[in-house]
Amino acid sequence: MDAPYARIEQLEPGIARILAHNPSAFTYYGTQSYLVGAHEVAVIDPGPDLPEHLDALEQAIAGRPVAAIMCTHTHRDHSPAARPLAEATGAPIIGCAPLALETVGPRADASFDGDYAPDRLLQDGEEVDVDGKPILAVATPGHTSNHLCFAYEGALFTGDHVMGWSTTVVVPPDGDMAAYMQSLDKLRQREDRIYYPAHGPAVTNPQQYVRGLIGHRMQREKQILKLVGEKARDIPDIVASAYPGLDPRLVTAAGGSVYAHLLDLERRGLVQRDGETWTDA
C-alpha cells in the first residue's frame, strides 16, 4: 500500500498532515501528526519517536517558530516524539495531562508513554494561540481518561476519540464507556465542519458520523444486555456471539470493549456478575 509516509499533505490553508510509519491493527496506516498555523505553527500529536518521522516533522515546520507541541493523549503512538521535537525546536509541550498505567489489563491497545512530561496542561476550554488564532482544548475522556480534542478554525483534531477508519478502543481500567458516550455527546453538540483524526481519513460529516457512533454503541449495549439476559455468559462467550467473523488480532480489544460496556451496565444496576460470568439484574 502506497501510504503517504513522511510526506507533507497540505489539507487546507493552515493545516498540514504527516503520516508516521507505525502501521498496526490499532493504528491503521499509522499515526497522523498535524501542523496548524502559517507563520507560526503548532504540532498536534507528534506521534511515535521514529527518526524519519521527526525528520519529516522538522521539514514541514521549515524553521518557523513552534508555539506548542500538543498531544491528545499519551498512548505510545501519539506522544513520544514530543520530547525530541521540543528539544529540536525549543517549543513547549502543552496539552493533555500525563498518565501512565503499569497494567492495562489484557493488552488491547498501545501502552502508555510514561516519559511524557508536559510544560503546561490544558483544561477543558483553555486555549493556545497560534498566529493569533486560538486552538481550544475540548476534554473528551473515554478512550483514555486524559484525552483531549483540539478545535481550530472549525476543524476538530479528534485524536483517538473519533477515528476515520474504525470504532475507538475503550478498555478498562483507564478506558470508560460512560465517559466515552458523554464525550461523544459533547461532540454532537458542537458544530465542527470537519474532523481530523489521528488515524484514518478526515470526517467531513461530523454530526452524522457522531450520531452513527452513538447509535452503534447503544446497539452494542442492547445486544450485550440481550445475550446476558438469555443465560449467564463470560466475556469470550459474549464476544463470540456479538462479533461474528472478528479479526483475531482484535479479539482482546473487543473483549475489553465488552467489559467496558458491562461495567457501565453494572453501575446502572442492569447486569450483575458472579465470578467470570454475567447475567441481567
Distances (CA, A) of 212 to 162, 185, 191: 11, 11, 16
Residues that bind Zn ion (CB under 5 A): 75, 160
Q: Identify which of 129, 59, 69, 57 has the alpha carbon closest to the alpha carbon of residue 95.
A: 69
Distance in Å, CB of 35 to Zn ion, minimum: 20
Distance in Å, CB of 49 to Zn ion, minimum: 16
Decide whether 75 or 217 has the Cβ nearer to Zn ion: 75
Decide whether 160 or 176 has the Cβ nearer to Zn ion: 160
Are residues 232 and 274 in contact, defined by beta-carbon separation less than 8 angstroms? yes
Instruction: Say how far apart CA 271 and CA 28 lie, in whole Å.
Output: 34
Distance in Å, CB of 129 to Zn ion, minimum: 27
Decide whether 186 or 233 has the Cβ nearer to Zn ion: 186
Distance in Å, CB of 74 to Zn ion, minimum: 8
Are residues 106 and 260 in contact, defined by beta-carbon separation less than 8 angstroms? no
Instruction: Say how far apart CA 139 and CA 123 lie, in whole Å.
Output: 7
Distance in Å, CB of 143 to Zn ion, minimum: 6
Give the torsion sign (CA, 52, 32, 12, 140).
negative
Decide whether 111 or 207 has the Cβ nearer to Zn ion: 111
Instruction: Say how far apart CA 86 and CA 143 lie, in whole Å.
Output: 26
Decide whether 75 or 233 has the Cβ nearer to Zn ion: 75
